[in-house]
Amino acid sequence: MSTFEQRRLQRARRASLVGTAGFIAFWAFAGAVGLIGGGVDLGDEIIARLPLNSPALAGLLLAAIVGMPMTVTAILALRSHPRATLAGIGSGLLLLGWVLVQPLVIGQFNWLQPVFGLLGAIVCLLGWRLARPTSRDGFPRFPFHTSPA
């Protein structure tokens, strides 16, 4: 693979990371606004299971744990910052953690949980692939590069 092709592939990965993280951040903040402002009715049963019985606190946590890290990831990837890889992996893992803990807290399963879990895994994978350039045969070099010596 030529250097041009590698750069093109990295740009495509970075653009995918920007788009995916931006999409997740948008919906995380939309959900947070809905929870804080009262636009989302969770029902008395779910509200009773929330920390401090507060949808507003749940909205703040959603914005802090999912929305902000995804926003940072999208901005860093858009600027081609070297820390975008770490931010992508970290924010993807935070989303996966959120999706795994949420059904335990609220006691209900929703179809959006596996969808956003998959999106979190995709963000992790894109962050990892940005950090790992491909070798000549197209496969990522894992876990270490071979020494020229």
Yes or no: say if 97 and 79 are a contact pair by the CB < 8 Å rule.
no
Which pLDDT belongs to residue 137?
47
Output phi, psi for 63, to 5 deg.
Answer: -65, -40
pLDDT digits (tens, 9 = 90+) for 79-106: 989 899 999 999 999 999 999 998 888 8
Measured CA to CA, the distance from residue 13 to residue 89 in angstroms comes to 13
pLDDT digit string, tens, across residues 35-78: 888 887 777 788 777 888 888 888 899 999 999 999 999 999 99
Whole-number pLDDT of residue 138: 53
The answer to whether 138 and 1 have CB atoms below 8 angstroms apart is yes
pLDDT reported for residue 136: 53
pLDDT at 143 over 60: no
Cβ neighbours of residue 100 closer than 8 Å, sequence gap 6 or more? 117
- Partners of residue 134 on adjacent β-strands: 140
Give the CA-trace dihedral at 35, 38, 39, 41, to 10 degrees: 80
